[in-house]
Every structure is written in C-alpha cells, then in structure tokens.
Structure 1
Amino acid sequence: MTRSWRITGAVDAARARIATARLAAAYGVPALERTRLTTALSAQLGQCLTKGGTWRLTLDATAAPAEEGLLHIMVSPEPGTAAAAQPPWRTTVRCPEAADPAGAAMVADDPAVLAEALLGADEDTALVLERLAQQEELVAFHREELHQTNQGVLALHAELDAAGRAQREAFAAERRARTEAESARRRLTFLADASAVLTASLNHDEIVRRLPELLVPEYARAVDIWLFDGDGDRRAPAPHPAAAVLAARTGRPQYAAGHPGGLPGVDDQPPSALDPGRPLLCIPLPTRRAPLGVLTLSPPGDRWDPDDAVMLIELTRRASIAIDNARRFEHNRDIAETLQRALLTDLPTTPGLSLAARYLPATHGLNIGGDWYDAFRQPDGSLITVIGDVTGHGLHAAVMMSQLRTALRAYAVDGGSPGQLLTRLHTFLHHLQPDLYATAVIARFRPGDPTLTWAAAGHPPPVLRTPDGRVRTLDAKPGAMLGIPLRQEIADHTAPLAPGSTLALYTDGLVERRAQGIDPGIERLSDALGAFGPAELESDLEGSADRILTPLLSDSERDDDVCLLLCHLAA
C-alpha cells in the first residue's frame, strides 16, 4: 500500500505528519518508535518549509495484512519546483502488526480532528518522557552504584597499597635483621675460633705472632703489638702513637682520627702525629694488675663498624689473658725445671764403671714430674743405681720423688740388697702416701763381682748388652708397684756381668706410646743398644746415650717425662 501527500505549507505538513502517525499506529509501531519517527519527520518537514517549494511525502507499506513488514517514508521535492535539486529524505520503521489503514490515512479539516491528533501526539510525548524518566532513574541508580563501587575499589587499592608498603617494609626489616644476624654470627664464629687459636699455645711469643695473622686483612690493615717488658715499665724502644700511650695509662681504648669514630666504649682523640692520615684504634691488653701492653690497629677501610670494634676489644681482652697465662706458665715452668734439675744429683765416679744419665721433661704442662735416677755407694763399696717413676705429674709428684730418693739413700746406709731396699720403700710409701704409687728398678754393682744383682717393682725391665753385642731383657718376675695396699717381699735377681757389658735402666716415657704399647718400644731400645760397637760405648758413653734417645724420641711432643741411665762395665 502506498500513500502520498503534497506539501506546500505548514497545514499540509501538519496533516501529513498526523497521517503518518496514524498509519504507524495502525501498523502497530510502538509508541517510542512512533514518537522518534514523527519527531524526525517533523524536523525534516520543518526544513522543507524553510527551503520553500513543493514537496511530497510518500508512505509505502511492503507487507500484507496480518504479517510483519516495513513502512518506508520518503520526503522528496516535486519536479519542476524550486526545491527540485534537493535530495530526498528517507527512513524506514518496522511494522509489528498489519491493519486496514484506509481510515487512518484521511485527515479532515475539522478542528476537533486536528486537536485530537495533537493530543495523541502529546500522549506519545508523555509516554516517551515517562520512559525517559525511568531511564534517568535507572541511570542515576547505576551511577550511584558505580560511585560506591569506585569508592570501594579506591579503598581497596589504598589498603592494598598500604599492605604492599607494610610488606616491603617487613621484607626490608627482615633482610636487615638477617644481615645483622649473619654479621653477628660471623663475628661470634671468628671470636670463638680466634680464641681457640690463642689459648691453644702456652708460648707467649707464639700468641703474639698469631694475633696479627688472625686480624689481617679482614678486620685490620696493619697490627702493632706493644708489650711492656716489666711491671710499670712504659718505655719502648720505638716511638708509639700518643693514643697508644694514653690507652696504656688509662686502660681505656682510644681512637685517633680526624673524625669521631662513634665506637662504643672508645674515647676519641686527635689524629696521630706519627701517621695523621690513618685512623688508629689503640686497645690496652688488660690484666688484673696492669695492662700488659697495647694493641694498635688500622682499619681495613675508612673506619670500623661499631660492632666490629666491640668484637676487637673482646678479642684483645682474651688475647691478653692468653699472653698473661703463657707468661705465668713459662715462668713456673722455668722454676720447675730448675727445681727438677736440682733434685737430680750428679753421678759418682767409679773406677771400672762408667755412668751416663739423661732426663727430658714432658713437653706438655710444667716441666716437672716424678721420674728420677740416682747412683750412690753403700758402706761395703757396692754401687747402687736406681731409676724410678712416681705416678702423676707436677710439683706433688716431684716432692714425693725427692722423699723416696732420700729414703732410699737412708735405707742403703744400713746395707741390704736391691729387693730389700725396694721392700722398705714400698712400706714407706704406703704409710706416707696411701693414694700415691711408684715404680722403680735398682741394680747393684760389687767391685770384683761378675754378677749383677737387681730388683724391680712394677717398672719396665732393664736391658743388658753383653760384650759380643747381644742384648737381652732382664724380665724376671718383678714385684708389684710401690705403695699399693698389699704386703709384699720383693725378690732379688742376678745376671752374669762380663767386662764390656752395658746395662740400660729407663722409665716408660722412653719406650711407651699410646698407639703401640710398651713392648715395641723396648724392642727399639734393644735394637739401638745392640747397634753400637764395643769401642763406642767404651770411649763415649755420653754420646751413646744421646744417640739412643734420638731414634726413640723422634716425635717432638711427649706426654711423659723420660729418664735413661746407662751403666758400662769397662772391658
């Protein structure tokens, strides 16, 4: 179906608009779409009236009744008029319903009909406005909802940002704490290891030598140790920084540099005149009486970390204790060695019998122990040779050894064989010191008698070398140790003694080793004694004693004292 209207003025345009609206309503076009159509058509017709000329509005419905179709609207100028050159205007709307538009297309000139059409247009406009109001309310609702969502998102972003900053700060604090803990662990480990190294030696020169090796280059670039030679002596052969002198006088660590050190427990001083460009940390070596000296350090970099300075002060304190203990030990060791030497008497000179003795103190602990040797004459002219070992070590064992030696000499004045002398010593020691024991072996040489008489009490057996170079161990059954809570009579033993024979008496320190026992050591001693020629022992018994000790004491560390007494009968 096609409808057409000729438009030359506003009344024609109004009628055409009303007819279009009625036809759209008849075809079931929704009110909103119908309002959009009539509004667009009104605007276009307004432009046509403004341009002038004659125009034609054509409506063309392409669907049959009861079928959904399309409604085509076109506004075009009529040919031959002033607007003929203008392009046509077209639009299309969908028609959901199909109806008879015959009555809807006629618009009379009756004012009532025009008014009714105008009111219908207002109703469509009101419906559009109502829909618009609903949409505005919906938009406002969604706008508010979006605003609330945005506020929540912003708050969440703020919380996440705050949580991120807190987490970053926590991570940074954890890294700092881990770094500080690792540094503290490193310092404590170094302090423990260095302390173990310093206290392992009882030689103060060794401690002084090791201290710079421990500190350079990690904790110091250079180390100077100033030790005072005597009590109250603060003079040194070389000039020392003023800070070191002040540290010696006050007993407080001093830091000499052009800037404050900020080190805990350390006093700041001006730069040293001896080396103005280098910071110096001067730490006294404290003792209970007075400082032993001053340790002067220069930093490995520009300055020290405060924690490193605290560690260095503690290490210096421990080094001072180690040096002081080593000096005390060396002093006591010298006194003990002097005492030990004084207790060991000179050997007597006997025609036809040569004697050579050696005593070596243990390398650990004080150089004093219970090992001893002795040789003296009895009233009948016999020569008593003895070697013994008091259990234990130190001053107490040395004092007991001296008492046993004195008691043996006193008993020997009354005569008696080696076994009888050892029996009396056993009784004496048991009553004098019930908790102290000793071992000993006594050999007696009679002038003109080709027989050696000997007795042993818990002691390693003597070794006898005959003139032909053969060596035998005098291992006849010995008595028990001296001083044990047991009544015993120690027996005498004899052995042939030809001219040119050599008897070796010794303590267990010469032959016993923890990993091997005592028997291999006795075999080595026998081999060493048998390796000599007769002329060597006859002409140089002292040198022979040294040559015996050399292979038997190849290791420099000894846990026990060593005694050796060689008795050589002239050929």
Structure 2
Amino acid sequence: MTANPAVWKIASAADAAEARAALDRVVTAAEVPPLERARFLTSLTALLRRCLERHGHWELLPRVDQVTEEAPGRLDVTVRPVGSMTPHSADEPALSCPLPRPAEPTLDAGAPLTAALLHADEHTAAVLNLLDEQEGLLHLHREELHQTNQGVLALHADLEAASRAQRELLEAERAARAEAERARRLLTFLTDASAAITASLNPAAILRSLADLLVPDYAAHLDVWLFDDEQEHTDDDRPQPVPHHAAAAVTAARTGRPQHAAAHPGALPGVDDLPPSALSPDRPLLAIPLTARRLLGVLTLTAPGPRFDPDTSVMLVELARRVGVALDNARRYEQYRDTAEALQRAQLTQLPTVPGLLLAARYLPATRGLNIGGDWYDAFLQPDGSLLAVIGDVTGHGLHAAVVMGQLRTALRAYAVETDSPAEILTRLHRMLGHLQPELYATAMIARFRPGEPEVVWASAGHPPAVVRDADGSVRVLETRPGVMLGIPMPFVYTDHRADLPVGSSLVLYTDGLVERRALGIDTGIARLGRALGTLSGPELEQDPQAAADALLKPLLHDSERDDDICLLLCHTVPPAGQ
C-alpha cells in the first residue's frame, strides 16, 4: 500500500522546519531506529537548506510504501521546483528511509516548532547515547584488542624463544652426531689399522703398512726411530739421544711420554708441549714412544695441516702403542723362529754314502706362520751294513715340535741299535711318545735297505705312502694300510712290509706338506708326485740324484706360499761298485 499525500510548499525556513518536523513525526511513528532516523533527518535538512539557498518556491513530495508481508516499508522524499512535474535535473536524488512499522505523512502543523526543536534534541540525545554506548563498546574492544596484542606479542616471544631453543637443540644434536660419526670413523680406522699391522710378523712390513695407513690423511710425513741393541742406554734403560732426530723425539725417548712441538700449545690429551722443532718449524710434530715390555723407539709424525686434532691425537697414541706391541711380537717371533730353525737344521742328517744306494734329501720350511714344524728325515747305517731311511712329521709347529722331533730322532737311533725291524722300532717309539708327550702325535715311516737284497722292508705309523719307480719307468704306490699315528692313546703293534726294489728302482719318502693342498686333497698330490717321478729317467737319477730331487719338487711347489714344512728323501738303487 502506497500513500501519496499532498505537496508541501517550501518557500521559507519556517516551511522547511515544519516539513522536517512532519517527516520527523512520520519516522518516529514508524519506530525508525535513532541512528537511521538521525541520518535521514540530517540528509533532509541539508536538502531543504540547498533548496532555500537557491531561492524560489519548491515542492516537497513524501511517498510512503507501507510494510507488507512481501516487502519492508519505505519513506521516499522528492523535491522539485513549483510547477514542475518532475524533479529538477540539478537536484539531489530522492531521499529514502526504511520504515519498520506503518506510518502516514500529514500536512497538519502538529506540535509547535519549538516543541519540534526540542524533539530534535531528543533525537540528538538518543544518537549521543548510542554514540556513548558505541564508544564504550569501542573502548572495551580496544582494551580487548590491546590485551590480545599483548598476548600475541607474548606468544610471539614464546614462539621465538622456543624456535631459538629448538635451533640450539638441533645444532647441538647435529654437532653430537658429527662428533659421534667422527669418533666412529676414528675407531674404525684404529681397528682396521690394528688388523693391518698385526697381520705380519715382519718388522719392515709392519712399518711399511704403518706409513701406508697414516700418510697423507693423518700425517704429512712420519719417521720411526727404533733403538738398537748396540745403542748406549741410560741408567733407566732408555737410549741416549741421537743428534739427527727431532728434539721432540729425543724428549719422548727420555721421558717415555708423547711430545708435541709447535709454535703454539696443542693442548692434546696426555701430550706434553714443546717449542717448535728446528727440523719442522712450520708444521707441528707429534713424537710418540713405541712401548711394549720396554721402550722400543719413537714414532714422529708431521701434522697434515696447521695442527693436530685432539681426538685424532688420542687415536694416534693408541695406534703407536699397538705398533710397539706388534714390533715387539715380531722381534720375539724372529728370535723364536731363528732358535727353532737352528735347532731343527742342526738335527737334519748328513746323508751317508752307501754302496749300491744313492740318496738325496730336501727340507723346506713353511712360508706362512711360524715356519718351523716337526718334519724330519734321517738315514744311517746299521752294524750289518744295512741302511735305515726315516721320514717323520710331529704335529704342530714351533720350538716345541722341533724339540719333540729331536727326541724322536734320538730315540729311534737308540732303538735301532737293539733291532733292525722298522715295525719294532715304531712300536717302541709309539709307547715312548705316549708316555713322554701324551697330547702330541707324530707320523713316521722307516725303510730298511740291505746290501744285495732286491727288496725293501718298511713300516708306517700313519704316514703318507711311499712312491716307487721301477727300473722300467713304471710307478706304484706302497698302499698297504699304515698303522696308527705315534702317540695315539691306544696300544698298537706295527707290522713290517716288504716290497720289490731291484737295481735301477727308486723309493721316495716324503711328508704331507709336499702333496696335501686344501683345495685338492692328498690323493691328488700323491698322483702328481707319481707322475713327476715317472718323468725321470734312470740316467738322470743315477748321474745327479740332487737334481732329480729338485725336479720332483718343482711341479708340486707351484704355490709360493706354504702352510706346512716339506721333507723329501729320494733313495735310488744302483749296482754295487765293481759289478
């Protein structure tokens, strides 16, 4: 529903005030909110003021669209010059005010203008009250915003502190991981280096391995000063200084403590600081004693960079200690080996000259390990002119095996004085070894050659079988089952065996080191020995039995490294002199 009241004439300020008062009553009756009412009336006042300023007579046309269920109500106001049917093109657009409730515009004067003026103050007061409320709310919101900002700032500060703490923790963790990784690398290197230097019992090889390990990563250069037995020593058994060694090395030799020589202190754990060395003024030196049961020498390292790292220096000191132990073990091993080898070689027999029989022997120590085993050979004459050829092998290596081998050799010769039976001699040796060395065993084979007899009598105690080359060049193996090893904790009586051995035949006795290989087995090795023996001719065997023995060894020793000793005894029968 739309109301179209009469036109209000606006010719003076009083007309404008009455029109404003009338429309004020309309919006008030329609319960327009104070703020919207004030805005509408203020805009209406400005519109009326402009009309008055332009002079002339104006018409004000109110138009009310009442509230319906379909749409809200609205008050529209249009101003135009008198007599004009449409608004002037220069006028402001029509004013509008929403009407929450129905209202009708009226032309009656209503309340006096003074009352309308006071009513306008009520609108102003309502607006001011609303502004006060808004200002209070604004102050409250401003305070809340301030508190929120303070909280945000505090939160930012906490977050920054947490972020800084997290960064510090991450940096500390990263540093700890780097330190742990570095320590792991140093320990791994120390383990690998220790394995490398202890893999050999040769002092020169140990020192070469040490140089390969340390240069250039851990040292730009190294020098090893080993003390001789001929050097003059002090009262505390430390060597006197040698002029051409660095002062740090001399001090380390005197004190037995690691020394660091550089322009600035190194602060290395367990290391004394000295002034820079005249031999290396630009690079720090680290002199570390090589000790084991005694002081063996000094290892002097030139730093690979401007300084030695503390953790690396700890590793180097420990490595030097292990090098000292390795060198001491190598020297003790050399002494032990030389003693055992001298003992063993002293007991190897000078082969006798026997009519009708040519002899040749070879002994080769092992090239791996201690080098000294219990292998031996022997050949000696009996009172009746016969000859006993012996080959044997004591289990184990080293000085103890060599000593037992000497005991067996001596006992065998002693038993041979009482009997010429190889089996009887072995039986007595078996009993003796069981009492003398109950946890040590041996193998042995004895062959007896009697002048004028075209046969050999032999007995074996667990030893590899002898190989025979007949005069026609054919080869055979004496494969009769051998007796048990000497020293096995069980009673045993050995048996003599006989084999034809006419003139021009050869008998080869040997130890298992010649024929046994891990990858091939002993049978393959015996077959190879037989083939090598078959390639030799009678004239070669008779003219030079020593060369024939070497020819037997050559095809079986294709490997340069041997885990076991080798003994070989070649016996070749020839016609007696004068026949």
What TM-score results when the alignment is normalised by the length of structure 1?
Answer: 0.88
- Report the counterpart of residue 289 of structure 2 in structure 1: 284
Paired with 1:15 and 1:432, the residues of 2 have a C-alpha distance of 150
CA contact 1:75–1:89 (8 Å) conserved in 2: no
Paired with 1:198 and 1:516, the residues of 2 have a C-alpha distance of 32
Paired with 2:572 and 2:241, the residues of 1 have a C-alpha distance of 55
- Report the counterpart of residue 465 of structure 1 in structure 2: 469
In structure 1, list runs of 5 or more residues that go unmatched.
78-86, 108-112
Give the superposition deviation at 1:323: 1.3
Paired with 1:171 and 1:30, the residues of 2 have a C-alpha distance of 62
Paired with 2:38 and 2:455, the residues of 1 have a C-alpha distance of 156
> Share of identical aligned residues, percent?
60
1:548 is matched with which residue: 552, 565, 569?
A: 552
1:517 and 2:521 matched: yes
Q: 1:469 to 1:139 in 2, by over 3 A?
A: same
Q: 1:439 to 1:531 in 2, by over 3 A?
A: same
- Report the counterpart of residue 82 of structure 1 in structure 2: none
Give the superposition deviation at 1:191: 0.9
Instruction: Give 1:295-444 correspondences, 5 Å limit.
Output: 295-444=299-448
- Report the counterpart of residue 116 of structure 1 in structure 2: 115
Moved more, 365-374 or 231-240: 231-240
CA contact 1:248–1:294 (8 Å) conserved in 2: yes
Q: 1:526 to 1:122 in 2, by over 3 A?
A: same
- Report the counterpart of residue 483 of structure 2 in structure 1: 479
1:92 and 2:95 matched: yes
Give the superposition deviation at 1:516: 2.2
- Report the counterpart of residue 256 of structure 1 in structure 2: 261
Q: 1:129 to 1:210 in 2, by over 3 A?
A: same
CA contact 1:64–1:98 (8 Å) conserved in 2: no
Instruction: Give 1:153-232 correspondences, 5 Å limit.
Output: 153-230=152-229, 232=231
Paired with 1:379 and 1:95, the residues of 2 have a C-alpha distance of 154
Residue aligned with 1:62, SS: strand
Give the superposition deviation at 1:338: 0.5
Give the superposition deviation at 1:336: 0.9
2:251 is matched with which residue: 216, 228, 246?
A: 246
Paired with 1:523 and 1:54, the residues of 2 have a C-alpha distance of 146
CA contact 1:6–1:55 (8 Å) conserved in 2: yes
Paired with 1:273 and 1:434, the residues of 2 have a C-alpha distance of 63
Aligned residues: 552
How far does the alpha carbon of each residue in 1:104-141 deviate from its partner, in whole angstroms, 9 at most, with x for none?
A: x467xxxxx34423332222222222222222222223
Give the superposition deviation at 1:30: 4.6
Give the superposition deviation at 1:94: 1.9
Paired with 1:64 and 1:200, the residues of 2 have a C-alpha distance of 112
Moved more, 148-157 or 14-23: 14-23
- Report the counterpart of residue 455 of structure 1 in structure 2: 459
Q: 1:528 to 1:66 in 2, by over 3 A?
A: closer
Q: 1:55 to 1:7 in 2, by over 3 A?
A: farther
In structure 2, list runs of 5 or more residues that go unmatched.
1-5, 83-89, 233-238
Residue aligned with 2:487, SS: coil
Q: 1:524 to 1:100 in 2, by over 3 A?
A: closer
Give the superposition deviation at 1:553: 2.0
How far does the alpha carbon of each residue in 1:308-331 deviate from its partner, in whole angstroms, 9 at most, with x for none?
A: 111111111111111111111111
Give the superposition deviation at 1:24: 5.1
Superposition CA RMSD, Å: 3.0
Instruction: Give 1:98-137 correspondences, 5 Å limit.
Output: 98-103=103-108, 105=109, 113-137=112-136
CA contact 1:5–1:57 (8 Å) conserved in 2: yes
Paired with 2:97 and 2:481, the residues of 1 have a C-alpha distance of 139
Letter in 1 for 2:502: A
Paired with 2:36 and 2:482, the residues of 1 have a C-alpha distance of 138
Paired with 2:37 and 2:481, the residues of 1 have a C-alpha distance of 142
Residue aligned with 2:180, SS: helix
Moved more, 337-346 or 552-561: 552-561
Paired with 1:258 and 1:412, the residues of 2 have a C-alpha distance of 78
Instruction: Give 1:22-41 correspondences, 5 Å limit.
Output: 22=25, 25=28, 30-39=33-42
CA contact 1:221–1:299 (8 Å) conserved in 2: yes
CA contact 2:344–2:402 (8 Å) conserved in 1: yes
Residue aligned with 1:362, SS: coil
Give the superposition deviation at 1:72: 2.7
Residue aligned with 1:264, SS: coil
Residue aligned with 2:11, SS: strand
Paired with 1:153 and 1:390, the residues of 2 have a C-alpha distance of 91
Letter in 2 for 1:93: S
Give the superposition deviation at 1:254: 1.8
Give the superposition deviation at 1:208: 0.6
How far does the alpha carbon of each residue in 1:260-281 deviate from its partner, in whole angstroms, 9 at most, with x for none?
A: 2232222222222123122222
Paired with 2:320 and 2:103, the residues of 1 have a C-alpha distance of 112
CA contact 1:66–1:99 (8 Å) conserved in 2: no
Give the superposition deviation at 1:293: 1.9
Paired with 1:134 and 1:181, the residues of 2 have a C-alpha distance of 68
Moved more, 230-239 or 382-391: 230-239
1:267 and 2:267 matched: no
How far does the alpha carbon of each residue in 1:355-409 deviate from its partner, in whole angstroms, 9 at most, with x for none?
A: 2111122233333322221111111111111111222333332222222211221
Q: 1:456 to 1:16 in 2, by over 3 A?
A: closer
